[in-house]
């Protein structure tokens, strides 16, 4: 490798790293949430960028260690290596196997009779995860991954429990799609802050003894694993519902 080539490789690596970073941001942060590209297309693109990031980081690191003879060359090599960290991190995050039970994206407080979606179905874009519950296999994974997710049992009448559930959903910033007091069902959409992912939620209130039982279901529209987001959402609702009493 000539001296001229050694001096050019860090600069090329830095340019590729910056391009990978910009494409990642454009696709996932701006393009996918606005419907310019599908989320699946965005993630597939990020996986490709991740592999390019691995190659770029390795090449830049090699040049940093053995090839850069000048301060400028080493600085550029270091910058390129660090800049490739984003697509590499994305690749690792997508490829890593979660703990047993964590490949789940549909969480409910009633594993025997999960609340059903209706009003949100027309709002789900093509290519979303199936709206139907996955049955015993999904329930078994949830029992392993999230045994803490349980229904809310309250002394409130179904009417008062419905009102409190509706107010709790609003408090948490969910977009209420429908709320039917007669059926005791509320449907909503929660949008994550940074990547603007939209997850579907249904709340069901039924009589339980002298009080009520509140069941929830939170379903991710994309992805095999929700990284615990749906369970956290249900637990946050439970805490807020109980605290408002």
Say if CB 202 and CB 183 are below 8 A apart. Answer: no
What does the pLDDT read at residue 80? 58
110 and 91: one domain? Answer: no
To the nearest whole number, what is the mean pLDDT of the chain?
80
120 and 234: one domain? Answer: yes
- The CATH code of the domain that includes 134 is 3.30.530.50
What does the pLDDT read at residue 97? 46
Which of the residue ranges 1-5, 8-12, 182-186, 192-196 has the most confident prediction, judged by mean pLDDT? 182-186
For the chain, how many structural domains are there in total?
Answer: 2
Assign 22 a pLDDT band (cuts: 50, 70, 90).
Answer: confident
What does the pLDDT read at residue 215? 98
Residue 36 lies in a domain: yes
Q: With CA atoms as reference, report the closest residue to 240 among 139, 172, 148.
A: 172
Which residue segment(s) compose the domain that 64 sits in?
A: 3-95
Please identify, among 66, 95, 124, the residue that sits at the C-terminal boundary of a domain.
95
Which residues does 232 contact at the CB level (< 8 Å), separation at least 6?
A: none
Which of the residue ranges 1-5, 8-12, 138-142, 191-195 has the most confident prediction, judged by mean pLDDT? 138-142
């Amino acid at each position: 490798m000539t001296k001229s080539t050694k001096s050019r490789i860090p600069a090329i690596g830095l340019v590729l790293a910056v391009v990978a970073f910009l494409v990642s941001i454009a696709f996932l942060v701006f393009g996918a949430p606005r419907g310019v590209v599908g989320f699946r297309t965005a993630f597939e693109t990020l996986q490709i960028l991740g592999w390019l990031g691995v190659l770029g980081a390795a090449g830049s690191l090699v040049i940093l260690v053995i090839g850069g003879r000048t301060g400028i060359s080493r600085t550029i090599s270091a910058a390129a290596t660090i800049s490739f960290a984003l697509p590499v991190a994305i690749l690792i995050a997508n490829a890593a196997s979660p703990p047993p039970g964590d490949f789940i994206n549909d969480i409910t407080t009633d594993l025997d009779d999960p609340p059903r979606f209706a009003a949100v179905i027309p709002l789900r874009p093509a290519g979303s995860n199936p709206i139907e519950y996955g049955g015993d296999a999904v329930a078994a994974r949830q029992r392993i991954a999230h045994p803490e997710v349980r229904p809310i049992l309250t002394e409130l009448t179904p009417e008062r429990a419905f009102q409190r559930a509706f107010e709790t959903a609003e408090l948490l910033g969910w977009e209420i799609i429908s709320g039917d007091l007669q059926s005791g069902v509320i449907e909503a959409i929660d949008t994550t802050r940074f990547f603007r992912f939209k997850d579907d939620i249904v709340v069901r209130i039924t009589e339980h003894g002298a009080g009520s039982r509140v069941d929830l279901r939170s379903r991710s529209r994309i992805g095999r694993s929700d990284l615990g987001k749906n369970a956290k959402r249900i637990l946050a609702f439970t805490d807020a519902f109980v605290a408002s009493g």
